[in-house]
Amino acid sequence: MKRRNTPDPRLTTPRRAGAPLPFARHPRWAAVADADWNDWRWQMRNALRRPEQFEALFALSGDERQALASLGDGLPVSVTPFYASLMDPDDPDCPLRRTIIPRTAEHTIGPDELKDPCGEDADTVAPGLVHRYPDRVLFLAVGTCAVYCRYCTRSRMVGGAEGYSFQRAKWQMAVDYIARHPEIRDVLISGGDPLLLEDNHLDDLLGMLRAVPHVEIIRIGTKIPAVLPQRITPRLTQILRKYHPFMMSLHFLHPSELVPEVVAACERLADAGIPLGSQTVLLKGVNDDATVLKELMHRLLMARVRPYYLYQCDPIQGSAHFRTPVQTGIRMIESLRGHTSGYAVPTFVIDTPGGGGKVPVSPHYVIGQMGEQWVLRNWANKVYEYTDPALGQPNGDG
Ligand code: SF4
């Protein structure tokens, strides 16, 4: 039953290119009928939420046990049987397990850490609606998730009692705001996880937004394909495809998430014509390793998901054990750029504390400039020069 994830033998064993990773249910659920296992509602009903449920499935460390026993009214704990099966029951340092089972380090709050590090509350203009950038809004439509990530930027507001309640009246206030602001052309629905909404509610919400004439694109940010791929049903994709131009950002952390069920869920979304981009949070001891990150990006591309953002972990309260130095992120991008397909290189961003929005942070490839002369360093650290077109000359800009 020992299934170590660091390093995960499934990732180090030579395979045919693109061969799927093996997946096995945790023995606890081996006898569950396929019809139940493949039903997303069964997965949600049987999610692990109480300390004794984790105790029964995992060889908990003393620190995990203590953290589970002292959760209080902060971010709750929850994990679907599917995602729990991806975790090493014996190794507390399993990358996925580190992100879901709490540690007591969560209770240590550093001086630079904030409840709302991205300053979303200050830019909230209607219930659940954040209007920061001129032409787009963030629509926090639901407050629950299938799993609760211990590094979550919105840990201050997800998992509360009202999470599952149907909120059409609040949605209407947010949609009314959007309708009054013709400059809004892009709506990103997030939460919580919007794909936990029932089909009819999600259809309703998307229909309300699509009815606003100036809304050009609608996007959903979700972790569901990684943690509850059973939710990506044919009925759901039928609904989503009605609302093109419609796009999705999928939250992935580690290559061991890309098991066949997950790849198939991504393919169902891609087959519905939905452009898929990934979002990955860079986390200490989880994915701050160039080999792991490259394998993740390659597996995402194989699942038809384009690597989009690599995030610096936000300084939420109790996050020091997850956060890496900014230099680590720069090094990760350096290890990808030029060393693999450009499509496999996400943009590394810091969501600046205080509401400044995302700032891209890149390695320095421009190492000098004088007038028209640019001195550039390439991926292999070789130096080249480039000359701008002469200003004022034919075909120049002057
Ligand atoms: S799924 Fe997203 S919103 Fe939910 S806990 Fe994880 S990071 Fe936060």
Q: Please report the sign of the dihedral spanned by the C-alpha atoms of residue 109, residue 111, residue 114, residue 118.
A: negative
**Looking at this protein, which amino acid is placed at residue 178?**
I
- Could you give the CA distance from residue 280 to residue 309 in angstroms, rounded to a whole number? 6
269-302 residue pLDDT tens: 999 999 999 999 999 999 999 999 999 999 999 9
Peptide bond into 89 cis (omega under 30): no
Instruction: Kindly report the average pLDDT of the chain as a whole number.
Output: 92
91-111 residue pLDDT tens: 999 999 999 999 999 999 999
Q: Please report the sign of the dihedral spanned by the C-alpha atoms of residue 266, residue 271, residue 272, residue 275.
A: positive
Of all helices (H) and strands (E), which one includes residue 34? Answer: helix 34-37
Catalogue all structural domains in the chain, each as residue range(s) with its CATH number. 9-107 (no CATH), 121-359 (3.20.20.70), 364-398 (no CATH)
Residue 7 has pLDDT above 80, yes or no: no
- Could you give the CA distance from residue 301 to residue 307 in angstroms, rounded to a whole number? 7
For residues 367-395, average pLDDT: 90
Pocket of ligand 1 (CB under 6 A): 145, 148-149, 152, 154, 158, 191-193, 223, 251
21-62 residue pLDDT tens: 889 999 999 999 999 999 999 999 999 999 999 999 999 999
Residue 77 has pLDDT above 90, yes or no: yes
Residue 318 has pLDDT above 80, yes or no: yes
Annotation says 235 is catalytic:
no
Residue 166 pLDDT: 55
Annotation says 314 is catalytic:
yes
Residue 14 pLDDT: 47
Annotation says 168 is catalytic:
no
Residue 395 pLDDT: 58
**Who's near 21: CB < 8 A, 6+ residues apart?**
10, 11, 255, 256, 258, 259, 260
CA of 396 to the centre of ligand 1 (A): 50
Ligand 1, atom 5, lies closest to the CA of 148
- Could you give the CA distance from residue 102 to residue 125 in angstroms, rounded to a whole number? 33
**Who's near 311: CB < 8 A, 6+ residues apart?**
279, 280, 281, 282, 348, 349, 350, 351
Residue 336 has pLDDT above 80, yes or no: yes
Residue 132 pLDDT: 94
The angle, 0 to 180 degrees and rounded to 10, between the axes of the packed helices 199-210 and 168-180 is 20
Which pLDDT band, with edges at 50, 70 and 90, does 1 fall under?
A: very low
Which pLDDT band, with edges at 50, 70 and 90, does 72 fall under?
A: confident
Residue 11 has pLDDT above 80, yes or no: no
301-312 residue pLDDT tens: 999 999 999 999
Residue 167 pLDDT: 78
Ligand 1, atom 3, lies closest to the CA of 192
Mutate to test the pocket of ligand 1, among 154, 278, 319 (most ligand atoms within 8 A of CB): 154
Residue 10 pLDDT: 55
Token couple for 355: 């509401």
97-153 residue pLDDT tens: 999 999 999 999 999 999 999 999 999 999 999 999 999 999 999 999 999 999 999
Residue 394 pLDDT: 61
The neighbouring-strand residues paired with 172 are: none
The burial class, CB within 10 Å (0-12 / 13-18 / 19+), for 290 is middle
Q: Would you say 158 and 111 are in contact if contact means Cβ atoms under 8 Å apart?
A: no
CA of 70 to the centre of ligand 1 (A): 20
Token couple for 287: 């994915």
